[in-house]
């Protein structure tokens, strides 16, 4: 763990933000390559990425402020803007990113679901890489354990004793989901490139192409991984809801939404084949 990068006497940079910059840069490179490969408008893709990053940043911060630590920030409102001390929630960032992206696409009169599918593998990759920053910072730590792969923090402000490496669990799950999505996307597009017969006898392409199918698959897989991770976490994430963390509750609703959408898309696809 290396929470701070020391540049000199009394001068340091939080490692988390340095790694966040690395994560964003890597995702932007992959985004540009992906846009070219899928023949998506590269400029629009980069514009959306910028908008999504701003929306995600604001959403992640506000969720932490108003749900996790509102009693503190109510007394010290100016510290809401001192984001360099940390305090971000992934699901808050996801909701903020989706809202900002949806508004931008609405203004540009672009469809939402094709771009949601476009960003799905990027989200998985960013999550996998980004969680390494959590490990470096020592946040999102796990419950005490004595497993061979347990990790121990060596900074006074971090918890003592060997603990579950929940940051590593989350990072691995992100990379696994990324691999699954990239392979699954090839099957979807291969299926979409084969024309099917409509009831009136005309030819059509598969209804699953650019329909939110890939995004829904990502949402299911991510939510499952997140529920597993939440089971082993021990850091403060705000008050529980019926004994469950807020991220677990959101994950359950995300799975219900995504599975419902997948069933709807499959039925729609079967009707035109």
* pLDDT tens figures, 35-86: 999 889 999 999 999 999 999 999 999 999 999 999 999 999 999 998 887 8
Prediction pTM value = 0.88
- Count Cβ atoms within 10 A of the Cβ of residue 189 and give its class: 0-12 exposed, 13-18 middle, 19 or more buried: middle
Note the pLDDT of residue 203. 36
Confidence of residue 201 (pLDDT cuts 50, 70, 90): very low
Q: Torsions phi, psi of 6, nearest 5?
A: -85, 125
Whether the pLDDT of residue 99 is over 60: the answer is yes
Confidence of residue 186 (pLDDT cuts 50, 70, 90): confident
Contact 232, 143 (CB under 8 A): yes
Whether the pLDDT of residue 184 is over 50: the answer is yes
């Amino acid at each position: 763990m290396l929470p701070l990068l020391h540049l000199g006497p009394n001068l340091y940079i939080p490692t988390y933000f340095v790694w966040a910059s690395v994560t964003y840069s890597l995702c932007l490179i992959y985004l540009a390559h992906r846009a070219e490969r899928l023949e998506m408008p590269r400029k629009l893709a980069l514009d959306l990425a910028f908008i999504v990053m701003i929306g995600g940043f604001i959403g992640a911060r506000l969720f932490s402020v108003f749900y996790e630590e509102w009693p503190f920030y109510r007394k010290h409102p100016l510290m809401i803007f001192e984001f360099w001390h940390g305090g971000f929630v992934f699901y808050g960032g996801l909701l903020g990113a989706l809202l900002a992206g949806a508004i931008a696409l609405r203004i540009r009169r672009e469809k939402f679901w094709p771009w949601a599918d476009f960003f799905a593998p990027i989200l998985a990759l960013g999550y996998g890489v980004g969680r390494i920053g959590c490990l470096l910072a020592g946040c999102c730590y796990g419950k005490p354990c004595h497993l061979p792969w347990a990790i121990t923090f060596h900074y006074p402000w971090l918890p003592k004793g060997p603990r579950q490496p929940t940051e590593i669990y989350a990072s691995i799950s992100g990379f696994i989901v990324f691999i699954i999505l990239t392979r699954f996307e090839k099957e979807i597009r291969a299926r979409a490139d084969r024309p099917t017969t409509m009831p009136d006898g005309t030819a059509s392409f598969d209804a699953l192409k650019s329909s939110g199918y890939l995004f829904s698959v990502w949402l299911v897989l991510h939510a499952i991984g997140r529920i597993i991770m939440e089971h082993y976490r021990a850091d403060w994430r705000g008050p529980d809801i019926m004994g469950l963390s807020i991220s677990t509750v959101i994950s359950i609703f995300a799975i219900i939404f995504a599975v419902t959408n997948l069933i709807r898309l499959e039925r729609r696809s079967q009707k035109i084949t």
